[in-house]
Amino acid sequence: MTLMTSTDPGPSGSLRIAPSVLAADFGELAAAVATVTPASDWLHVDVMDGHFVPNISIGPPVVSSLRRHTDLFLDCHLMITDPGEYLEAFAKAGADGVTVHAEVDGVETVLAEARALGLRVGLAVNPDSPFEAVDPYLEAVDLVLCMTVFPGFGGQSFMPEVLPKIRQVRQAIADRGLSVDLEVDGGIDATTTPLVTEAGANVLVAGSAVFGAADPAMAARGLRDAAVPMAAG
């Protein structure tokens, strides 16, 4: 069964700002999304199962609700032990892309199943997992997500020790001539944005730095302004 999505993710490699709704006011989620939409390219949706990570967040019903209120690309990060069990539900709910973790079992099969559903496919890697965890799958994905905090909770501090791995991923993408986006998530703000974009990241996930600001749209624009020029092209 193929469920083709329609939202354009934009040109691969271009700079994209992806506010994380995990940091938004869930009681006013549609309104919160509306505030950042003019300054954003994607919406990042953190899905946690309380097993792969020590927290529980949201699932397909919230994605379905978001889809009714926004045309932004819905970038769903599945921090769950059995992502393959839920791919079709997320596709039906309106997800445009799903990112699964290199640390779960059966990665190759899950990536293929997501692709078959018409989803854009991503692979995430935790801060303590090496470049080699994603290297075999680079040709099979549209996106690599380098976590710059350990997944499970928002508001954590950026881990600069991940920067060399970001550079490794970007170099491998370039060396193989691949059209693969490089996303970062965790402690991303106006201070850390120059660091990760200089290292090669082009998709910036930010939660507290955007939705925790007095003016979320201005905060999102601030990330775009802080990115080094080489990542914006």
Neighbours of 178 (CB within 10 A): 16
CA atoms within 13 A on the CB side of 194: 5
Helix (H, G, I), strand (E, B) or coil at 43: strand
Query: Is 135 annotated in the active site?
Result: no
Contact 38, 63 (CB under 8 A): no
Give the containing element (helix H, strand E) for 81.
Answer: none
Structure tokens at 67: 């889809």
Angle between helices 29-36 and 60-69 (to 10 degrees): 50
Q: Of 75, 96, 181, 185, which is the active-site residue?
A: 185
Q: Of 46, 75, 96, 181, which is the active-site residue?
A: 46
Query: Is 215 annotated in the active site?
Result: no
Q: Read off φ and ψ for residue 52, nearest 5 degrees.
A: -65, -35
DSSP state of 157: P
- Give the chain's end-to-end CA distance (angstroms, integer): 36
d(CA 229, CA 233): 7
Active-site positions read: 46, 185
